[in-house]
Amino acid sequence: NAGVTQTPKFQVLKTGQSMTLQCAQDMNHEYMSWYRQDPGMGLRLIHYSVGAGITDQGEVPNGYNVSRSTTEDFPLRLLSAAPSQTSVYFCASSYSPGGAGQPQHFGDGTRLSIL
């Protein structure tokens, strides 16, 4: 099993450009989520999904869009990149969407710089 796979690993964008961060998991997990990690701030939830066709906003959703057409994939779209979106982005998945204490499995992250 590959677990949670994120692509690309690194990306540099110019302000105003758009892009999609890819996330795929092969564990048949219902729950998937996107976090951003910034120095001194821990990880903050951007968007999450409890199953195909169902998404919701997290703590910092502005400027990001998601969709979940399959169980395996959960792409994150930056609509118009801004320097404030320079961060490390992590995708995670877990078995249970019901807060039943299942741990989340994390990808290795995408390091994104916006110039």
Partner 1 sequence: AQSVTQLGSHVSVSEGALVLLRCNYSSSVPPYLFWYVQYPNQGLQLLLKYTSAATLVKGINGFEAEFKKSETSFHLTKPSAHMSDAAEYFCAVSVPGTASKLTFGTGTRLQVTL
Residues that bind partner 1 (CB under 8 A): 4, 31, 33, 35, 40-45, 48, 50, 56, 58, 90, 92, 94, 96-109
Question: Around Cβ 104, how many Cβ atoms within 10 Å?
Answer: 16
Q: Is 15 left (phi over 0), alpha (psi -120 to 50) or beta?
A: beta
Beta bridge partners of 114: 13
Complex with partner 1: residue 58 or 75, whichever CB lies closer:
58
In whole angstroms, how close is the CB of 89 to partner 1 at the nearest point? Answer: 11
Name the residue among 72, 65, 84 with its Cα closest to residue 20.
Answer: 65
The nearest distance, CB 55 to partner 1, in angstroms, is: 11
Q: Minimum CB separation from partner 1 for residue 109, in Å?
A: 6
Beta carbon of residue 27, minimum distance to partner 1 (angstroms, whole number): 14
End-to-end CA distance of the chain: 36
Q: Closer to partner 1 at the Cβ: 65 or 102? A: 102
Element (H, E) at 114: strand 110-114
User: Which is closer to partner 1, CB of 29 or CB of 81?
Assistant: 29
